[in-house]
A and B are shown apart, each in its own frame.
Chain A
Amino acid sequence: MITFAPMSLLAQIKTLLIKEVTLEWRSKYALNGMLVYVIGTVFICYLSFRQVNPAIWNALFWIIMLFASVNAIAKSFMQETKGRQLYFYTVASPIAIILSKIIYNFLLMLVLSSTALIIYTVIFSNPIGDMLLYILSVILGALSFATAFTMISAIASKAGNNATLMAILSFPVIIPLLILIIKLSKNAMDGLDRSVSADELIAILSVNSIVIAISLLLFPYLWRE
């Protein structure tokens, strides 16, 4: 009889994360698809608007990111076959699985949103007052999309995996975070003093912590079948 030494939670998360990244790197399907999607949407927006005022520029960026991230993260539980899920269930704790997915999606969103930001600012140029704060808001946006959508995609995958359901479940949930992020990035565009944005920063971080905490509490129940 073979006995496995139980891995610590951190080791489990690390192994699962490496597995996610390796799988992604081998196929590159999701990543490349999303990059082309983002670039295509940026071009559509650029060609249809040409010139916009800063508020619309900012809103357009986040709408592009919203749809790109829903599509990217919806896949995170779809690719797992039933057999593979059963295997993970026996070797890893559910908390390690959801945490590794959240971290992986955060990294994926970072790659996506930084690419989108570079292309968006180069092609569709618009003055940004406080570039550093804008980049911070993009990082926080990536984090928020990752935390909120990972759990929703797990729920949607259990409920028959259709894309419409993913959108219906995730849009109302992301709106509060999106409002805060749009406000933060608008402050950055206008180059307002950073102390003005402190409220939004604290609110975004605390909502994200709440979402992560509930995901960790609920995922074990969702996973069990």
Chain B
Amino acid sequence: MKNNWWKALAIVLVFYSIVGGLLFYVPAKPILNETIRNLYFHVPMWFSMIILFLISVINSIKYLRSNNENHDLKAVENVNVGMIFGVLGLLTGMIWAKYTWGEAWSNDPKQNGAAIAMLIYAAYILLRNSIDEEQKRARISAIYNIFAFPIMIVLLFILPRMTDSLHPGNGGNPGFNAYDLDASMRYVFYPACIGWILFSVWMVQLRYRIRKINNLTTN
């Protein structure tokens, strides 16, 4: 239990955010109405994805400094799970956009940026699969991972702020924290973020261990 308390915390927080997110009081806003609850599910997906990609880049840097295979395995599993969360973030965003903006895909810079970020990481996975030699694969994909990360940051956090965007928090639109996120919503939103981030890290840990066992049994 000493080392696993955070997994229990992740489960409790995610369950709490699902129940609380669907049942607790939310402020009634025009246009948004009940879709405001999507905040509890959509935003934590992106937070988790960014955290996982960050951990992946840190592991890639560690790999280049140490040539330790474990860092490479951690880097790739963080990207794999990060992709799942990125796709979930896109889907929850599209469902929300369908009800508030009228269309699932409305050429919004934030949506486009998120889709291109997925392409960058798909390219990373393709690059990995195109090289057979293990050390070479680890080194070259680590280099691409580090090279692509700042460009993804530009894509997701700088470009949408420079143009008109319907997305909350961009292009002059107020973010949810400005007026929508009143005290009652914070009680669900922050636990949801922490819960999903812990949950995603747990997923990575499991996948990393499975990969290590596979490597041991094949060698």
Binding site for B on A (CB under 8 A): 151-152, 155, 158-160, 162, 165, 168-169, 171-173, 175-176, 179-180, 183, 199-200, 203, 207, 210-211, 214-215, 218, 221-222, 225
Contacts and interface: CB of A to CB of B under 8 A. Distances in A.
B97 interface: no
B119 interface: yes
Interface in B127-179: 127, 130-131, 136, 139-140, 142-144, 146-148, 150-151, 154-155, 158-159, 162-163
Nearest to B159: A176
A214 B155 contact: no
Contacts of B151: 173, 176, 207, 210-211
Contacts of B158: 203
B154 A159 contact: no
Nearest to B154: A176
The interface residues of chain B, by DSSP majority, are classed as helix
A222 B126 contact: no
19 contacts: A155-B144, A159-B127, A159-B140, A160-B131, A165-B126, A168-B126, A171-B119, A172-B116, A172-B120, A200-B162, A203-B158, A203-B162, A210-B150, A211-B150, A214-B146, A218-B147, A221-B142, A222-B140, A225-B136
Contact of A169 (B117, B123, B162): B123
Contacts of B116: 172, 175-176
A179 B143 contact: no
Closest 9 CB pairs of A and B: A172-B120, A172-B119, A176-B155, A218-B143, A168-B123, A221-B64, A176-B154, A175-B116, A169-B123
A207 B154 CA distance: 8
B140 A155 contact: yes
Given A159-B127, A203-B158, A207-B154, A173 B140 contact: no
B130 A159 contact: yes
Nearest to B65: A221
A200 to B, nearest CB: 8
A183 B164 CA distance: 13
A218 B187 CA distance: 43
Contact of A214 (B123, B147, B159): B147
A222 B138 CA distance: 11
A169 B147 CA distance: 11
Contacts of A162: 130
Contacts of B64: 218, 221
A171 B120 CA distance: 8
Nearest to B147: A214
A151 B126 CA distance: 17
Nearest to B162: A199
